[in-house]
Structures are given as structure tokens and as C-alpha cells.
Structure 1
Amino acid sequence: MVGLLSGAMLLAAGCGGAAETTDQPTATTTVTVTTTVAAPSPTDSPTVPIETPVTDDSGEPTDSATPVALATDVAGRPLVLGNIFKYPDGWKDGRYDIADRKQATGIGGTLSGCGYEETLELRLANNFGRLKLEFGQSNSSETSDQVLVVRIDANGQYRDQKSVKLNQIAAFDLPVPKVNALKVIVSLKNTAECNGGAVEAVLMNMVLS
């Protein structure tokens, strides 16, 4: 009897041990992902140029390319286009055949149509006392029927006017004391013979003294 009880107790103990056995917990693995985020590029700002005056060795601003009043050192020599304060587009320094003169040095420009005019302005700054000027039509002008007219205004007031046909040369010799703004107004006379053709006008030997 005692043997049977001992066997039963051993059997119960064995069953109980099996029942208490549980599964082991599964190990958890943590994965760390590192993400690199690029910093945003700064937006390029437009570069604004800064204008600085051009200076000479003394540090003083130099003169600009804008035409200025004529100094007395131009006296006695023929003026060129670079001496003119304002002039029409298309006018240029060159050599021209006018009447019997060959390759005469002058300032030339084309006039088109009756009554058409152009203005060249000089700034004398009261530095001169006299103006001499010759003018005519280039022998290569498109038409031979036009009359070329040149008028001189000083300080906004009419001073003198002359006209020439093809194959002629006219001249001015005018006093210009106390004159600052001097205008040379070149035009084609509106006549019955005017047919609208173009003329190349030439100003020669424009000399201040």
C-alpha cells in the first residue's frame, strides 16, 4: 500500500513539473536607422553692381565722356564732330568733294525732303569772339535740284542765314562775343523745284577765335 502511494506521488509530481514548464520569451532586436537630411542651400541673392566714380591719381573724379563747353585751346583750328555739343544721328567727320574742292575735310550729314532740317549745337561758354564757317553740297548728293540753307542762331536769337545750290560754296564770318549756345541749323529750302531727293550737306573750316 505504501508502495502504491509512493508511485502515485511520483507520477503526480512528474505531471506537475511538465505543466509548470512555459515557453521562453522571444528576444526583441532594436534596429536604429540613421537618416541624413541635407541642409537647404541658401538662395543666391542677385548681385547689384555698385557704380563708383572713376578717379585719377589724385583721387578726384575724372571728367565724363559727356560733351562739355569748348575751351579756348580749340581756337584757330577746324572743329570736328567731337567738339560739337549735340549733333544729329548719322553725321560724321570725313573727306568730301564739294564743287571744285577735292577731298575737303568737313562734317557731313544727309538731309532728306523739302523743309527737312537738322541742328548742330556748340557750347562756347563765352570763350570766343568770332566764328568762321564754310558749307556746301557734296558732289555725290542724290539730287542736284535742292537748295541747302544754313542758319546761325546765337543764344537763341537769329544771327544770319545763307543758301547754296549744288556746285556752290558759301561762308560765314560772324562775331560771337558773350555767346554760350550757338546753333548751326541746316535745312533744305522748300521750293517749287524741290523733288524730295536727298542732299549730303557738308560744313567745312568751322573755326572759332
Structure 2
Amino acid sequence: MSSLNPWRALAALVIVAAAAGCAGGSSGQATPEPHGEQTTEATAEPTADDSTETIEPSDSATTEAPEPDWEATARESADNSDGTGPLDPDQTEGRDLTLADFFSKEGQGIDETLYGVASLEEQKGIGAVLAWEDATMELRLANRYTSLAFSAGQANSSKSSDNVLRVEIYKNGKSADFVDIPFNEVYPFNVDVSNVNALKIVLKCRTQNDRECDYDESVTGVLYSMRLGS
């Protein structure tokens, strides 16, 4: 039996080792390295700058309250006052005077409505509630008329039937005449108003002893069928 050559055995080992190394290299796969870092983008949250802006009103859009017109208010007040200028014959001819025709009215409970006077029922007239306070009504005639006719009496609704209605006429500030009218009587007046500008009719409540009435709302005096002549 021949002996084994040592050099041939060493060569065989080298070949076997080389073959094993090649087999291991071909079966293994290298893990690829990432080329770049992957980043996750966060959703952008809205900021205060992105919110809707509040629109401030401009000076031109602001509505300012108008200043009150004091002169116009004064004129309107004068137009609505009780004062009525001098009466015009063209405006009063053929009709009875009304409360609106009087330049001024002073007294308690002066009213224009329907009254019962003596035997008259629902007579349209100008009435005033009287006690210790008189009622004064003034006409401005501007010397344009010659006569004033009317009737006067106590309303059937007067609280007292014992007192007297006094009707006193003033021409241009001076007393010209007066008449006392008991309850349930009517007195017709026909007053000369020639050259008269201011004519006042004053109603008073008097007792039968010619004293002031001593309690409120004693008498309701009524004037009716008032007409001016020119």
C-alpha cells in the first residue's frame, strides 16, 4: 500500500475550503441601506393670522343722529297753541262760532259738546264748569264786525240749582255789561262790537246773595248759537 502524498492532501483541503466560502457568499443577501430618512409631515393647524378678519365700520358707514331743529319745534308749538289770530268775516259768515275760533280760553273744564239747557236737549254749545274760579274766553275781532249774538244758560247737569250764572262782557279790556241767569232760564245776548278788537266773555258762579260759590263744580255755564255780524 502506497503512502499518501502530504502535498496532495493539503491542496485538497484548500480546494474544499474555497468551495465552501463561495457557496456561503452566493446565498447571503446584503440588507440595503436607506438612501434617506423618511419624515412624516404633520397637518398644518390654522393660526390666528389665518382666521377671518373682523371688518371695522368706516366713518362713512356710521349713521349719526341728526341734531334737533329747535326753531322748527318752536314754530310747530306756536301753530298748535290755543291762540287764534283775528277772525275774518269771510271765514265766519253764516256759521256758529266754535271753541277753535277763540283766541284764548282760561278756566276749568271748558269744552265743546252737547248740553241740555232748560227745555233744550242735546244743544251743541261751549260749556265751562264754575265755582270760585271764573272762565274767560276771548275773541279777536280786529274791528271787522258790528254785532255778536248768542244765548246763555246753566246746563241741566249743574250740581247746584240754587246758584246764578253771571255772564260779563268786556270790550277792549273794559267791562261793558253783565247779566245774571238763574237755573232753568236762558238769556239771549246781542252785543254791539263795533270798533271792538278784543272781546272777552267771562262766566262766573254767584249765589243768590251775590257771593262767590262756596264749593267746586257748582254750575256749568253754557254758551250756544254764537254768530258774528259784519
Q: Same fold (TM over 0.5)?
A: yes
Is 2:110 the counterpart of 1:91? yes
SS of residue in 2 equivalent to 1:87: strand
Change (3 A) 1:75 1:41: same
| Distance in 2 of aligned mates of 1:134 and 1:126 | 22
| Distance in 2 of aligned mates of 1:64 and 1:196 | 37
SS of residue in 1 equivalent to 2:113: strand
| Distance in 1 of aligned mates of 2:70 and 2:214 | 51
Shift in Å, 1:125: 1.0
* 1:23 match: none
* 2:222 match: 202
| Aligned partner (choices 25, 32, 48) of residue 67 of structure 2 | 48
* 1:137 match: 154
| Aligned partner (choices 84, 92, 96) of residue 67 of structure 1 | 84
Shift in Å, 1:191: 4.7
Q: Relative CO higher for 1 or 2, CA cutoff 8 Å, sep ≥ 6?
A: 1
* 1:79 match: 97
Q: Is the 8 A contact 1:149 1:162 kept in 2?
A: yes
* 1:157 match: 174
**Structure 2 unaligned runs (5+)?**
1-48, 73-77
| Distance in 2 of aligned mates of 1:90 and 1:144 | 19
**Equivalences, count:** 167
* 2:134 match: 117
| Distance in 1 of aligned mates of 2:112 and 2:57 | 60
Q: Is the 8 A contact 1:143 1:197 kept in 2?
A: no
* 2:44 match: none
| Distance in 2 of aligned mates of 1:118 and 1:169 | 18
| Distance in 2 of aligned mates of 1:174 and 1:48 | 51
Q: Is the 8 A contact 2:162 2:208 kept in 1?
A: no
Matches within 5 A, 1:179-190: 179-190=196-207
Is 2:193 the counterpart of 1:176? yes
Shift in Å, 1:46: 5.1
**Counterpart amino acid of 1:86?**
S
Q: Is the 8 A contact 1:142 1:197 kept in 2?
A: no
Change (3 A) 1:191 1:80: same
SS of residue in 2 equivalent to 1:178: coil
Larger Rg: 2
| Distance in 2 of aligned mates of 1:187 and 1:93 | 18
- Bigger mean CA offset, 43-52 vs 148-157: 43-52
SS of residue in 1 equivalent to 2:104: coil
| Distance in 2 of aligned mates of 1:190 and 1:46 | 60
Shift in Å, 1:75: 3.0
| Distance in 1 of aligned mates of 2:93 and 2:126 | 17
CA RMSD of aligned residues (A): 3.0
SS of residue in 1 equivalent to 2:105: coil
Shift in Å, 1:90: 3.0
In terms of fraction of residues, the more helix-rich structure is 2
SS of residue in 2 equivalent to 1:200: strand
* 1:19 match: none
